[in-house]
Chain A
Amino acid sequence: MLTDREVLSTFEMLRNEHLDVRTITLGISIFDCASDDLSRFKQNIHDKISRLAQNLIGTCEDVALKYGIPIVNKRIAVSPVAVAACPFSAPQMVEVARTLDDIAREIGIDFIGGFSALVEKGMTRGDRALIEAIPQALTETGRVCASINVASTHAGINMDAVMLMGRTIKRAAALTADADGIACAKLCVFANIPQDIPFMAGAYLGVGEPDAVINVGVSGPGVVKKAIDRARAMNPRLDLGALSEIIKRTAFKVTRVGEIIGRQVADKLGVPFGVVDLSLAPTPNVGDSVGEIFQSLGLQSIGVPGSTALLAMLNDAVKKGGAFASSHVGGLSGAFIPVSEDLNIAEAARSGHLSLEKLEALTSVCSVGLDMVALPGDISETTLAAIIADEMAIGVVNKKTTATRLIPVPGKKAGEKAFFGGLLGEATIIHVANNGGSQELMSLGGRIPAPIQSLVN
């Protein structure tokens, strides 16, 4: 027998607080599709992905209906294409991307991840070809997502790759200038990329993963915010220790939802269940914002002094609650602060409360990094690369994942708006101080050695 509170609080979370499963991502290995013949490779990946994913959407919808929990996104992540398609040239890589796009369209999913390469210590022929293909591939396709890991705690930072990504991002922006550089919204540059991220644009299936696997991304910023608001309304004297306990309990509930839904989908599809990614993932909707939590906890806006301390507490409480709720936790697991995808954070960038420098500071205590940040179109390749290098250093030294999803918006300046549409949202272009001041450092190249923190054996 259930108690009234159990039923009513769940009902409330669903109806008024945006409780949902943000994404169910089917990871599919495409290593067994390898061939040196492009047509055969394309046919192989088409056959395998279509076979394994044909019931993905129907199954997710059935499970969502049974439990009354919406599954917002259904997606696919494949093995890094740079490895599986290593023999191919850049133009051939573009063809692979087009094939992935076609498959995604046929299956009916909005994003497919894995147009990826891991180059933290150096590059193979396939890695080079894939990175060269990225601007064209992300321009010609709408659903393919790319990610490049350029740094790790164990390898250091591949500064040649960082520089190359600065150039690649600028080129991708230029090719999609008429859509505010949207190609860059589908491209992440990582340090310490996890092998099992369910969230786009960073999702790919790592080499240590099974042939197929279901990973789940939970969400719940709205649920956390409402729980804080309720608690503070009932007792205005609650201190931060008590409030972090409330966040923890709420994260527990949200994660349990992801766990049960993910396991059910995996069972029905006949593939193993991988991980729950405990991330507070916002969407550009009122009431589904990480930024609003900052205001609920007493800050004028995300970005004002106190924001880093608050985010550190929030991130930690989410992890503690979530880790207890799930048998396997993975992926990024932390709060996301994607500027354009969160109405409140986008507003903080517009009003000037949130600067690029403060965003960078925030990323030292959360999971993702400089995510969906619109930058002036005239930013130089080297400044772009230097921003990436700084972000990578935070991840490498702190033994954590960091990433950038930077969008230099062609023809637009700081203060103007960039429009990406749908889930990607819109954002005010953020000011970049000292554009051009990193030229000489970035020209040195090479690899920044792995930090002493890597010597743990």
Chain B
Amino acid sequence: MRKIIVAVLGDDRPGIVAAVSKALFDYQCNIEDVSQTILQTEFAGIFIVSMPPGMSHDELREGLEGRLSPEGLAVYVKEMRPVESRVAPETEPFVITTVGPDRLGLVAGITGLLAEYKINITQLKAAFRGGDDPRRNIMIYEVDIPVAIDHHAFRAALYARGRELGLDVSLQHTDIFRQIHRI
């Protein structure tokens, strides 16, 4: 059975997930996986669905757009390609926290370095958007660091990048947060 990814964006309000899931149900699409988030006032949802035999990708896209666009929701539909079978490198989960005044290029600066070291980001969040103190913008990156990379070199490069960007950076294994806060 073919799998399709449906992404939906729009101003957050009650009823968005109901509208999307009702439309999918009407097209006999089974929701296999779903995740949603709200960023400031914006809703974003991503659904992985299996399509019934005989239905085309375009048919589903047009149908969903017809139902959801009038409600102010943007829809993106994409066929999910089977993942090439490759052995993923062994990784360990770490958390990078950056604290410092907001300016252009902070996320690009940090993530560029992560890309260079082939470090995958699994979660990224602006935890505190300044508030009373604009110097204390905080970004939290959850990352998987390949075991095989030179950790000392990466740490040094990350701290150096933090200094260039005017950020106070820390890098800690995820276990410490779980140990402290969870039973």
Contact surface of A with B, Cβ cutoff 8 Å: 1-2, 4-11, 14, 65-69, 253, 256-257, 259-260
Q: Which residues of A contact B99 (CB under 8 A)?
A: 11
9-residue interface stretch from B48-56, B60-68, B77-85, B172-180: B172-180
Contact yes or no, B142 A1, CB < 8 A: yes
In the assembled complex, the CB of A262 is this many whole angstroms from the nearest CB of chain B, namely 12
A68-B176 CB under 8 A given contacts A4-B127, A253-B181? yes
- Does B24 lie at the interface of the complex (its beta carbon under 8 Å from any beta carbon of A)? no
Q: Which residues of B contact A8 (CB under 8 A)?
A: 127-128, 138
Contact yes or no, A4 B180, CB < 8 A: no
Give me 10 other A-B pairs in contact (C-beta within 8 A), A6-B182, A10-B177, A67-B172 excluded. Answer: A1-B142, A2-B123, A2-B142, A11-B138, A11-B170, A67-B175, A68-B171, A68-B176, A257-B179, A259-B179
- Does B135 lie at the interface of the complex (its beta carbon under 8 Å from any beta carbon of A)? no
Contact yes or no, A256 B180, CB < 8 A: yes
Q: Which residues of A contact B155 (CB under 8 A)?
A: 65
Give complex CA distance A343, B170 in Å.
29
- Does B46 lie at the interface of the complex (its beta carbon under 8 Å from any beta carbon of A)? no
A7-B175 CB under 8 A given contacts A1-B123, A2-B95? no
A6-B177 CB under 8 A given contacts A1-B142, A11-B170, A67-B172? yes
Give complex CA distance A53, B95 in Å.
31
Main DSSP-derived SS at the A contact region? helix
Contact yes or no, A66 B127, CB < 8 A: no
In the assembled complex, the CB of B89 is this many whole angstroms from the nearest CB of chain A, namely 18
- Does B97 lie at the interface of the complex (its beta carbon under 8 Å from any beta carbon of A)? yes
- Does B2 lie at the interface of the complex (its beta carbon under 8 Å from any beta carbon of A)? no
**From A257, which residue of chain B is reached at the shortest CB distance?**
B180
Give complex CA distance A69, B171 in Å.
11
A4-B179 CB under 8 A given contacts A11-B97, A11-B170, A68-B172? no
In the assembled complex, the CB of B90 is this many whole angstroms from the nearest CB of chain A, namely 16
A7-B140 CB under 8 A given contacts A2-B174, A65-B155, A68-B170? yes
Which one of B138, B178, B180, B181 has the highest number of Cβ atoms from chain A below 10 Å of its Cβ? Answer: B180
- A–B complex contacts, Cβ < 8 Å, 18 sampled: A2-B174, A4-B125, A6-B177, A6-B181, A6-B182, A7-B177, A8-B127, A8-B138, A10-B180, A11-B170, A66-B172, A67-B175, A68-B170, A68-B171, A68-B176, A253-B180, A256-B179, A260-B175
Contact with A along B156-180 (1 / 0, CB 8 A): 0000000000000011111111111
Closest 9 CB pairs of A and B: A68-B172, A4-B127, A67-B176, A6-B181, A256-B179, A260-B179, A253-B180, A6-B177, A66-B173
Give complex CA distance A4, B124 in Å.
11
A260-B174 CB under 8 A given contacts A2-B95, A7-B127, A65-B155? no
Give complex CA distance A10, B174 in Å.
11
Contact surface of B with A, Cβ cutoff 8 Å: 95, 97, 99, 122-123, 125, 127-128, 138, 140, 142, 151, 155, 170-182
Main DSSP-derived SS at the B contact region? strand
Q: Which residues of B contact A257 (CB under 8 A)?
A: 176, 179-180
Q: Which residues of A contact B178 (CB under 8 A)?
A: 2
Q: Which residues of A contact B171 (CB under 8 A)?
A: 68
Give complex CA distance A404, B176 in Å.
36
Give complex CA distance A67, B93 in Å.
11
Give complex CA distance A67, B128 in Å.
23
**From B95, which residue of chain A is reached at the shortest CB distance?**
A7
In the assembled complex, the CB of A240 is this many whole angstroms from the nearest CB of chain B, namely 25
Give complex CA distance A257, B178 in Å.
10
Q: Which residues of B contact A10 (CB under 8 A)?
A: 172, 176-177, 180-181
Choose from A4, A11, A67, A256 the contact partner of B173 (Cβ within 8 Å): A67
**From B172, which residue of chain A is reached at the shortest CB distance?**
A68
Contact yes or no, B173 A6, CB < 8 A: no
Give complex CA distance A304, B138 in Å.
42
Q: Which residues of A contact B170 (CB under 8 A)?
A: 11, 14, 68
Contact yes or no, A260 B140, CB < 8 A: no
Give complex CA distance A62, B99 in Å.
24
Give complex CA distance A11, B139 in Å.
12
Give complex CA distance A299, B75 in Å.
62
Which one of A1, A7, A10, A66 has the highest number of Cβ atoms from chain B below 10 Å of its Cβ? Answer: A7
Q: Which residues of B contact A14 (CB under 8 A)?
A: 170
Q: Which residues of A contact B127 (CB under 8 A)?
A: 4, 7-8
Choose from B125, B176, B181 the contact partner of A260 (Cβ within 8 Å): B176
Give complex CA distance A65, B128 in Å.
25
In the assembled complex, the CB of A104 is this many whole angstroms from the nearest CB of chain B, namely 27
In the assembled complex, the CB of A6 is this many whole angstroms from the nearest CB of chain B, namely 4
Give complex CA distance A67, B178 in Å.
11
Contact yes or no, A7 B97, CB < 8 A: yes
Contact yes or no, B180 A6, CB < 8 A: yes
In the assembled complex, the CB of B121 is this many whole angstroms from the nearest CB of chain A, namely 12
Give complex CA distance A19, B97 in Å.
17
In the assembled complex, the CB of B93 is this many whole angstroms from the nearest CB of chain A, namely 10
Q: Which residues of A contact B125 (CB under 8 A)?
A: 4
Give complex CA distance A67, B175 in Å.
8
Q: Which residues of B contact A67 (CB under 8 A)?
A: 172-173, 175-176
Give complex CA distance A68, B125 in Å.
20
A2-B177 CB under 8 A given contacts A11-B170, A68-B170? yes
Q: Which residues of B contact A68 (CB under 8 A)?
A: 170-173, 176
Give complex CA distance A47, B170 in Å.
39
Give complex CA distance A452, B141 in Å.
60
In the assembled complex, the CB of A10 is this many whole angstroms from the nearest CB of chain B, namely 6
In the assembled complex, the CB of B152 is this many whole angstroms from the nearest CB of chain A, namely 8
